[in-house]
Amino acid sequence: MMQKKTCTIRMIPGNKVKVWETFKVEVELANWLGEITDFKVLLNRYGEAPSIIELMKKEEKNEEYQKYSAELQFDSPVKYFFFFSLKINGEDKAIKINRGNGEPIILNPWEESPYWSVVAYNNFSVPDWAKDKIAYQIFVDRFKQGDGTTLNQRGRNYRIWGEMPNWGKNEKGEYHNNDFFGGNLKGIEEKMDYFKELSVGILYLSPINESLYRYDRYAASNHMSIDPDAGAFEDLKSLHETANQNGIHLILDVAFNHCGSDNEIFQDALHNGQNSRYRDWFIWDEYGNYRYWYGIFRDMPIFNQNNPEFQEYIYGEHGVVATLGQYVDGFRLDVAEELQPFFLEGIRNRANHDKKSLIIGECWQYVPIKILGKGLDCPTNYPFTDGILKFVTKGNSEALKGEISYILDNYPQETIDTMFNSLDTHDIPRAITMLSSAMPYVRDDYRHWEIDRAPTIWHGYNYFATDEFRRFEFEHDKLEQDDYDLAIKRLKVAVILQYFLPGNPCIFYGTEVGLHGFKDPFNRKCYPWGDEDKKLLKFYQEIGKFRSNYTGKESSFEIFEANQNVFSFVRRNKTNSVFVMVNRGESNYHINLPEEFKEEKTHFSLNVDHDYLLPYGGIIILK
C-alpha cells in the first residue's frame, strides 16, 4: 500500500461542474516512482466501458513531485466515473481509490477498487427567495374555513369540522374521497400571523382546481377553474398578495398526469370516440378502453403528454400554467416521475416566462441529473424523510448518512438549497404516528412508511385486504398518552435534523400541534383549532425563529459523529457555520464539540445539562 504523499488528486472546481464548464483534474506523482509514460484519465458512465479517454499533460515539476493535468467539458448532464491508467518504468498500472482510507492508490490494472466521480449538471438558477425558507404544506379542504364561509351545495358530502374522515366503503362498495370539510383560501389568508409565528417563508397548497367528487382535487373536473368551495380567482389573488406582503411566497400543487373522469374533456373523448377532438388527449388500448392512474383508479384517466394540443392546453400562452402562474410563485408537480422530460421542460419554461418561479417535483426516488434545472428545480426530498425516521426510531445512522451522501454528491447546489425536506406528507402516515409504537414493523430495506408493502398480514395471493388494513389504521389511530409523549420526544429530535440539514424544512399542517394518523384518510384530518398541543407548537415557533437567523446557502457539510444514538454534523459557508448534535437514545451523552465552536454562545438546546445531551436531546450552535 502506498503512502499518502505518493499521489495527490485534485478536481477543479470540484466533483460537480456545469455543462460546458471546464473540468480540470490534477495529479501529483512522487518523483521517486520512476519514469511515467502513457498517462491517461478514463471516464465512463455506470456499468459502461470508458467513453472518454484523455491524455494527462505534464505541468511544473519540483524536487518531490511531477504535476499532470487534463481539462474536459461535458455537453450533457451526466455522472461519470473515472480512474487513471499509466506506465511506471514500463509496467502497466492504474490509480484508483483505496477502499480503506479514501486516498489514491497505485494498483495493477486488473485490481478492483472504487473510482472517482464527477457530475455534470444543467446550468440554471432558482429564485433567491426560495432558499433558506421554512415551508408549510396545507391541504386546503382541511386547514381552515374562512369567516362567514357558506359551502356550495353541489350534492357533496359535507362533514362537521374535526370529524374523522370516512374511511370505509360507500353503498356501492367503493372507497371514495368525497368528504368535504370546507377549508378554503380565505381561511388560509386569515392565518397569516400564525405562519409568521412559525417563521414560514413558503406556503405550499394542495390543488384548488375544480373537482366535483374529490376533496383532495388531484383529479380535476376543470383545470382552468377554481373549485367554488376552495374559493375563486380573486381569493387566490388576495392570498398571494397578502402572503407576499408578509414575506411569504406561494406554491400551488397541480396534477397534469391525469384528470377526473367527470372532466368534460374526457367525457367528450369517451362518448364521441374518434369524432372527438380530445380523443388523442388520452391513452386507449386496442379495445377502446382508457388507461387510468396506477391501473386502479378508474376515476383518474391518464393524459397523453405527446399530444400537441394537450401540451398547449397545459403550458401554452393561455394555458393552465400561465393562467394560475399569475397568482402564485411556483408549482409543485404531482407525480412528476410520470411526466416526460420534454413535458416538464415545457411547464418550467412557461412558469418562468414572465418571472422567476420555483418548480418542485413530487419525486419518491432520486431525481435524474438531466431533469434538474431543465424540468424541475428541486424534488420533494423523500430520501431525507426516510433517513431521519430510520435514525430516530431505529438508531440507523448509516441509513441517514447514506441518504445525505447520495444527495449532496449528485444534486446541483441550486437543488440542494431548495429541496423540500418533510417528516410527513399527505401521502404517508403522520410523523407522530410513525415515531410511535403504533407503527407496524417495516423491513429495514423498505422505506419507513411502507406499512402496506408486501409481505404483510393484509396480503394474500394476488390481493390486498384494504378493508382490514383501513380498520387497523382506524383502531390504532388514537395514541395512548405514554406513546404520544414518546413520539413527541422523538419528533423534536427529528425536527432538529430536519431544520438544519441542507434544504428547506417543510411542515405538514397540524403536525406542529400534535396531529397524528396513518395513511389517507387518517393523515388528512382537519387542523384542530382550539385543541392544539401548545407546548409542541411553542417548540416549533422557537426553533423556527432560531433557524431564520441561519443561512445554509452553498454550505459545505461534514458529519462529525454518527453512531446508534448520536448524530452530529457541521455546515460552513462564507456567512456562518452551524454545529448540530442530537441524541435519540435513553442515556446521557457527552457533548463533543469541534474546536471552532467551543467558545460560541449562540445556541438552541433541547434537554441539555451542562456538557451532556440528555435522552432525546439536541443542541445547535451558530457561529
CB atoms within 10 A of CB 42: 18
Residues 232 and 187 reside in one and the same domain:
yes
- Per residue in 74-124, pLDDT (tens digit) is 999 999 999 999 999 999 999 999 998 899 999 999 999 999 999 999 999
Burial pattern 413-452, b for ≥16 Cβ within 10 A else e, equals bbbbbbbbbbbbbbebbbbbbbbbebbeebeeeebbbebb
Span 593-621, mean pLDDT? 93
448 and 522 belong to one structural domain = yes
| Residue 162 shares a structural domain with residue 14 | no
Here the cell at position 342 is 420534454
State the average pLDDT over residues 308-319: 98
**Distance (Å, rounded) from C-alpha 279 to C-alpha 300?**
15
* Residue 148 and residue 90 share a domain: no
Judge whether residue 3 has pLDDT over 70: no
Same domain, 569 and 447: no
Q: Cα separation of 476 and 16, whole Å?
A: 47
Number of residues that this document lists for the chain? 623
Using omega within 30 degrees of 0 as the cis cutoff, is the peptide bond preceding 13 cis?
yes
Q: What distance in Å separates the CA atoms of residue 104 and residue 26, rounded to the nearest whole number?
A: 12
> Residue 157: what pLDDT?
87
Q: Looking at residue 112, which CATH number applies to its domain?
A: 2.60.40.10
pLDDT 10s digits, 499-547: 999 999 999 999 999 999 999 999 999 999 999 999 999 999 999 999 9
Q: Would you say 607 and 584 are in contact if contact means Cβ atoms under 8 Å apart?
A: no
Q: Which of 116, 227, 242 is nearest to 180 (CA)?
A: 227
351-389 pLDDT, tens digit per residue, is: 999 999 999 999 999 999 999 999 999 999 999 999 999
Could you read off the pLDDT of 118-175 as tens digits, one per residue? 999 999 999 999 999 999 999 999 999 999 988 887 778 899 999 999 998 877 777 7
Statement to judge: residues 74 and 194 lie in one domain: no
Are 482 and 578 found together in one domain? no
Q: Per-residue pLDDT for 4 more than 70? A: no
pLDDT of 427-455, one tens digit each? 999 999 999 999 999 999 999 999 999 99
250, 263: one domain: no
pLDDT over 90 percentage in the chain: 90
Q: CA 117 → CA 253, 392, 529, distances in Å?
A: 35, 31, 51
What integer pLDDT is reported at residue 240 of this predicted model? Answer: 98
Q: Are residues 572 and 455 in the same domain?
A: no
Domain-located, residue 127: no
Per the CB < 8 A criterion, the answer to whether 424 and 508 are in contact is: yes
The answer to whether residues 484 and 513 belong to one domain is yes
Any domain includes 308: no
Q: Which residues make Cβ contacts (< 8 Å) with residue 242, sequence separation at least 6?
A: 189, 192
Name the domain count of the chain. Answer: 4
Provide the mean pLDDT of the chain.
95
By the 10 Å C-beta count (0-12 exposed, 13-18 middle, 19+ buried), 382 is classed as buried
Does pLDDT of 557 surpass 80?
Answer: yes
The predicted pLDDT at position 2 comes to: 39
Residue type, 139: F
Domain-located, residue 128: no
Could you tell me the residue range of the domain that residue 349 belongs to? 135-171+183-254+318-547
Cell of 228: 367554488
